């Protein structure tokens, strides 16, 4: 399993917003601090907004902010919001595998997937910024 750049950026963007104590933050500020392009940032912000993890406001004092307190977001939720899964093996995602009926290792992959998901679900944005 490897978390993509998009997933890592999404978590970093959300921690950036969490550090700003419910204030709106402009895309220019976030992009500069996180070292990513505005275009890429806007793509990620669109995904986060669609899942209602952030809210936006237009105008001179606008930007993005968290839609709820930082301790109410898990890393897993953020990754899933941008299409990042913790896919260990095809069988753990519900996709059909040619070896599924006779696989001796499938239980290992399910258990590992559950361990990773449970761990990522326990880490909040609040934990990351402390």
Query: In angstroms, rounded to a whole number, what is the distance separating the alpha carbons of residues 40 and 113?
Result: 29
pLDDT the model gives residue 94 = 67
Is 30 among the domain residues? yes
Is 20 among the domain residues? yes
Is 104 among the domain residues? no
CA nearest neighbour of 55 among 99, 81, 22: 22
pLDDT the model gives residue 22 = 77
Is 31 among the domain residues? yes
Is 96 among the domain residues? no
Is 90 among the domain residues? no
pLDDT band at 103 (very low <50, low <70, confident <90, very high): confident
Is 112 among the domain residues? no
Q: Find the CATH number of the domain harbouring 16.
A: 1.10.10.10
For 15-55, what is each residue's pLDDT tens digit?
A: 999 998 778 999 999 999 999 999 999 999 999 999 999 99
Count of structural domains, the chain? 1
* pTM of the entire predicted model: 0.89
Residue 70, pLDDT > 90, answer: yes
C-alpha pair distances (Å), 88 with each of 11, 100, 117 = 20, 14, 11
> Alpha helices of the chain — where are they, by DSSP H?
5-18, 27-34, 38-50, 75-81, 106-122, 125-129
Residue 60: domain span: 5-84+124-129
pLDDT the model gives residue 126 = 96
- Computed over every residue of the chain, the mean pLDDT equals 90
Is 37 among the domain residues? yes
Contact 4, 86 (CB under 8 A): no
């Amino acid at each position: 399993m490897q978390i993509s750049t998009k997933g890592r950026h999404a978590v970093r963007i959300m921690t950036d917003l969490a550090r700003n104590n419910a204030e709106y933050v402009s895309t220019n500020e976030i992009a500069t601090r996180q070292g990513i392009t505005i275009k890429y940032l806007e793509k990620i912000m669109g995904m986060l907004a669609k899942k209602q993890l952030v809210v936006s406001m237009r105008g001179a004092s606008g930007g993005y902010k968290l839609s709820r307190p930082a301790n109410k977001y898990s890393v897993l939720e953020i990754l899933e919001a941008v299409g990042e899964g913790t896919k260990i093996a095809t069988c753990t995602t519900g996709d059909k595998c040619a070896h599924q009926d006779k696989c001796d290792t499938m239980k290992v992959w399910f258990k590992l997937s559950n361990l990773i998901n449970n761990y990522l679900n326990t880490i909040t944005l609040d934990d990351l910024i402390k």
